[in-house]
Amino acid sequence: MKIYEVFKKETEYALRGLVYIQLQNLNELRPGIAEIASEVETPPHFMAKILQRMVRMGFLESAKGKNGGYSIHPAQGTLSLKKVVSAIEGNNLFEGCGFGLKACDENHPCPLHNSYAPIRDAINKLMEEETIQKLAGTGKEELIFALNRKS
């Protein structure tokens, strides 16, 4: 019986990585894969793959060679969680019925549709308002602690 999580591992690791990178960028630093994976406690090779994808998606910039590493792409001055999540997982979380009980829309709502709608709206709001920058901006030490802490 698998433990349920809202996000896929890939998404979770991506978010943690992005926040850590942003945090280091604030100090003019460009962390590399080894450092990032170690600090946010993810499998390093897997994190490498994920960061590559973030680069391709335009969320990150990367620099090779000595003193290389990652930084948040300048064009992503405010990078909402929704952007990241929907880029990786698609946007069914934000648009779908949420219960997967077959196709259902405003015209043909499934029995759960109307009860779920406000929840979906709240998720949308939260994920649109919350950004990587905000997460990296408040209470840094506690944040990293929270990101790092083992269960």
When the beta carbons of 64 and 108 are compared against its own copies, the nearer one is 108
The token duo for 113 is 């549709």
When the beta carbons of 13 and 70 are compared against its own copies, the nearer one is 13
**Contacts (Cβ under 8 Å, ≥6 apart) of 113:** 97, 104
Q: Which residues bind DNA (CB under 7 A)?
A: 2, 8-10, 13, 31-34, 42-46, 48-49, 51-52, 55-56, 62-70
Q: How far apart are CA 125 and CA 133, in angstroms?
A: 17
In the complex, the smallest distance separating the C-beta of residue 34 from its own copies, rounded to whole angstroms, is: 20
In the complex, the smallest distance separating the C-beta of residue 82 from DNA, rounded to whole angstroms, is: 18
How many degrees, rounded to 5, is the angle at CA 74 between CA 70 and CA 79? 90
The token duo for 68 is 């290389």
CA distance readout (Å), 30 to 48, 131, 143: 15, 19, 19
Residue 110: contacted member of DNA, its own copies, none (CB under 5 to 8 Å, by partner type): its own copies
When the beta carbons of 2 and 118 are compared against DNA, the nearer one is 2
When the beta carbons of 66 and 102 are compared against DNA, the nearer one is 66
In the complex, the smallest distance separating the C-beta of residue 51 from its own copies, rounded to whole angstroms, is: 17
Q: How many CB atoms lie within 10 A of CB 133?
A: 19
In the complex, the smallest distance separating the C-beta of residue 40 from its own copies, rounded to whole angstroms, is: 9
Distance, C-alpha 47 to centroid of its chain? 13
Residue 63: contacted member of its own copies, DNA, none (CB under 5 to 8 Å, by partner type): DNA
